[in-house]
Chains A and B, each alone.
Chain A
Amino acid sequence: MKTGEIAQTTTRDDLAEEGPSFMKKVKSFFIEMALLSAFMWKFFKELFKRPFEFNEIARQCYIIGCRTLPLVGITGFIMGLVLTIQSRPTLAEFGAESWLPAMVAVSIIREIGPVITALICAGKVGSGIGAELASMKVTEQIDAMQVSGRRPFKYLAVTRMIATTLMVPLLVVFSDTISLLGSFFGCNLKGDISVHLFFSQVFEKLDFMDIMPAFIKTIFFGFGIGLIACYKGFNSDKGTEGVGRSANSAVVIGSLLVFLIDMIAVQLTSLFS
Chain B
Amino acid sequence: MEDIGKEETGNFALEIKKLKVSFGTKVVLKDINLLLKKGENLVVLGKSGSGKSVLIKCLVGLIEPDEGEIVIQGSDTARMKERDLETLRKKIGFLFQSAALYDSMTVRENLEFPLEGTEARTEEETETLVMEALQNVGLPDTAGKMPSELSGGMRKRIGLARTLILKPEIMLYDEPTTGLDPITSREISKLILEMQTKNKTSSIIITHDMECARITGNRILIIKDGVFSAEGTFEELKKSEDPWVHSFFE
Contact = CB atoms under 8 A, between A and B. Distances in A.
A196 interface: no
Contacts of B64: 1-3
B125 interface: no
B92 A147 contact: yes
Interface stretch (A106-114, A148-156, A227-235): A148-156
Given A144-B100, A147-B92, A13 B114 contact: no
B63 A151 contact: no
B89 A146 contact: yes
Contacts of B166: 148-149
Q: Is the interface of A mostly helix, strand, loop or mixed?
A: helix
Given A2-B63, A151-B86, A51 B117 contact: yes
Nearest to B82: A151
B114 A148 contact: yes
B208 to A, nearest CB: 19
Interface in A133-151: 135-136, 139-141, 143-151
B52 to A, nearest CB: 15
A141 B96 CA distance: 9
A14 interface: yes
Contacts of B113: 145, 148, 150
B192 interface: no
Contacts of B117: 51, 149-150
A147 B103 contact: no
Q: Chain A CB within 10 Å — which of B89, B98, B100, B162 has the most? A: B100
Interface of A: 1-3, 6, 9-10, 13-14, 51, 132, 135-136, 139-141, 143-151
Interface of B: 23-24, 57, 60-64, 86-87, 89-90, 92, 94, 96-98, 100-104, 113-114, 116-118, 162-163, 166
